[in-house]
Amino acid sequence: MNLQKKVSELKGIGPKKSASLSKLNIDTIEDLLYFYPRDYEDRRELREIISLHEGDTALIKGKLILMFRGRIPGRRQTLKLLIQDESGAIEVIFFNAGHLVKSLKQNEEYFFYGNVNVSRGRIQMLHPEITKYEQGQKLSIVPIYPLTGGISQGEMRKWHKEALKLLPELNEYLPELTLKRNRLCVLSYAIENIHYPQDRQKLMEAKYRLIFEELLLLQTGLLSIRKKMNFSDRGILFSNKISIDSFLKSFPFSLTGAQQRVISEINADMESGKVMNRLVQGDVGSGKTIVAAAAMYKAVKSGFQAVMMAPTELLARQHFESLDSVFIQHKINVGFLSGSLSAKEKKETLNRIESGEIDIIIGTHALIQPNVNYNNLGLVITDEQHRFGVNQREILSKKGMNPDVLVMTATPIPRTLAVILYGDLDISVIDEAPPGRQQIVTRAVKEDGRDAAYEFVRREVGKGRQAYVVAPLIADSENVDARSALGLYDELKDRFYEFTIAFLHGSMKQTDKDRVMQDLYSGKIQILISTVVIEVGINVPNASVMLIENAERFGLAQLHQLRGRVGRGKEQSYCILISEGDSSVAQERAEIMKATNNGFLIAEKDLELRGPGEFFGMKQHGIPEFKLADLVKHIKILNSVREEAELILNEDEFLTKKENYILKNKIEKLFQNTERINI
């Protein structure tokens, strides 16, 4: 028998059952072995019937003395068993379980596991789990599996026991040194004990090994992707004669200490002659754009082109407009490229990029299309990196000759996690807000606070400020009970008749979006009703109120991003969360939002609240799911895992050695559906 064989080869698994198993992603016998219990019941203690009390959950072993079938008049069929052990007897009752009769035999011994209760003075077990006692059978800790319809715990356990008989065929594939260095038990031992642990200690050993294994596959996989991407260490030597200081003087403010520090880290990378691979993390509003601009200035003045890619058209345009006005003073040409340009504009821009006339190109995904040829690309920047795939960054990089790479994100992944996920990127953190930034006052209200919230908006806008109202949907929907931008616009344009109010969402025509943005920047639009399209990048300093409808539908990270659209000017700013329903997670989120403006703290809380699976949509980011591992709980293990992964790859860079063959296969299997890993 081979572990790669279909489960249907096992005793007791027919076509119907194997179809049900397939729904649990169990196709082969090996899959079955890797399908772990979600919990355990300690059934090592056998109780005497006489010792049972009402309310106990207990395991007994007894002989079947009598069996009656009956019917409660007009109600259910009953099956009553009288069970006896050496200490006494108990009634065991099943309803509508006629099928059991066939499998039970008088005078045979069975185990019963269930709750004990007392009815009319008689001690009973209702619907206990029942298994036949086999000669010499040992008591054990029993697995409880996460199941779907069509399979019972009993069946799953039986099949696992069958599959476990094949354990000797399950080969260890982790390098011996890895096991030694990390004191891991071998695979077959781990698999046996994760299903039927002999005791708690062995269960712990098994779990540790399997968690380690899961994290190691992920980490080794991520590291080797990056190793492949780092085509060469040798990069461009940017001129050390270019002073960024003179460029920074063209801004009306002085840099924060954190900005200065990060710029000098980048500067050192650029002058080093090694390829820069740096992640800049900074909360919304921490001033990442200038940092990027400084790097672009240095690249251009050293004779290269620089490109900056943003995830949305809106953000790309905004960057273009603000940066163009700065660079023009330094005789640097800035170009813009996106899918929304007319064919003629596009062609012209492409020509100017290819000829080198444009020094800095800002745009969207259009920048990585095959028809874009750069003249002399030396620096590649991606803004809001978490929105892009590793591949996209790679394609962009390959358009130059080992250009330096800078990736920027406001997604404040806790440092420990960032090191794991971002592999060998160097990390710079802008952990300081520009001076004068106020704390945004945050309030959370229910439906009954809506009127007051709107009146608050009226007062603020009346003082000359601008406000955002954000809703989860574009248009009202029959299927989703939530507010929409268009629905709210209809409602609020009458309510706020004295103000200019407009809406914005992602499916609008580009020219319409542009007009709205222009009117928003100029102050003409006083209240903007929007979807989350404004989540990233929008920078309107005069906006002081962010009102979020159906706040319960947004995650913490998103709420924080949205709130970051206000508090960008001198005025005290406010964020109002209107929630429906009373989900406790939503309430907890609101509490956290009220308590802090610190994105890093919020990220950590988010991770706790949502769990890493959903953390910033890791699934969407293509990070494979774990069965046992948890990126938060197991952060300590992660640290050893990372060291181990590096050791493994140092010894065998591309995992081509024979002894790493299965390891390599497993990693490839893990990453097979994840060619878009967005980290």
Quick one: residue 436, left, alpha or beta (phi over 0 = left, psi -120 to 50 = alpha)? Answer: left
8 Å CB contact between 410 and 383: no
> How many binding residues for Mg ion (CB under 5 A)?
1
Six-digit token pair at 542? 């005069």
Quick one: residue 505, left, alpha or beta (phi over 0 = left, psi -120 to 50 = alpha)? Answer: beta
Residue 265 beta carbon to ligand ADP: minimum distance, rounded to whole angstroms: 16
Q: Which stretch binds ligand ADP (CB under 6 A): 52-60, 173-181, 248-256, 502-510?
A: 248-256
Does 256 engage in binding with ligand ADP (CB under 6 A)? yes
Quick one: what does residue 282 bind among Mg ion, ligand ADP, none, with the CB cut-off 5 to 8 Å set by partner type?
ligand ADP
Helix (H, G, I), strand (E, B) or coil at 380: strand
Quick one: what does residue 284 bind among ligand ADP, Mg ion, none, with the CB cut-off 5 to 8 Å set by partner type?
ligand ADP
**Buried-exposed string 278-311: b where 16+ CB fall within 10 A, e elsewhere:** bbbbbbbbbbbbbbbbbbbbbbbbbebbbbbbbb
The residue at minimum Cβ distance from ligand ADP is 287
- 263-292 residues in contact with Mg ion (CB under 5 A) are 288
CA distance 316 to 307: 11
Does 253 engage in binding with ligand ADP (CB under 6 A)? yes
Does 382 engage in binding with ligand ADP (CB under 6 A)? no
CA distance 143 to 401: 56
**Looking at beta carbons only, is 284 or 306 nearer to ligand ADP?**
284
DSSP state, 622?
Answer: T
Q: Which stretch binds ligand ADP (CB under 6 A): 183-191, 279-287, 296-304, 645-653?
A: 279-287
Helix (H, G, I), strand (E, B) or coil at 618: coil
**Looking at beta carbons only, is 102 or 249 nearer to ligand ADP?**
249
8 Å CB contact between 312 and 533: yes
CA distance 406 to 383: 9
**Looking at beta carbons only, is 289 or 530 nearer to ligand ADP?**
289
Residue type, 207: K
Helix (H, G, I), strand (E, B) or coil at 126: strand
Quick one: what does residue 411 bind among ligand ADP, Mg ion, none, with the CB cut-off 5 to 8 Å set by partner type?
none
Does 567 engage in binding with ligand ADP (CB under 6 A)? no
Residue 340 beta carbon to ligand ADP: minimum distance, rounded to whole angstroms: 22
**Residues facing residue 131 across a β-bridge:** 111
**Residues facing residue 83 across a β-bridge:** 64, 90
**Looking at beta carbons only, is 193 or 256 nearer to ligand ADP?**
256
8 Å CB contact between 248 and 261: no
Residue 415 beta carbon to ligand ADP: minimum distance, rounded to whole angstroms: 18
Does 579 engage in binding with ligand ADP (CB under 6 A)? no
> How many binding residues for ligand ADP (CB under 6 A)?
16
CA distance 541 to 519: 14
Q: Which stretch binds ligand ADP (CB under 6 A): 249-257, 356-364, 466-474, 482-490?
A: 249-257
Does 284 engage in binding with ligand ADP (CB under 6 A)? yes
- 397-416 residues in contact with ligand ADP (CB under 6 A) are 410
> Given the rule CB under 5 A, which residues bind Mg ion?
288
> Given the rule CB under 6 A, which residues bind ligand ADP?
253, 255-256, 259, 282, 284-290, 410, 434, 539, 568
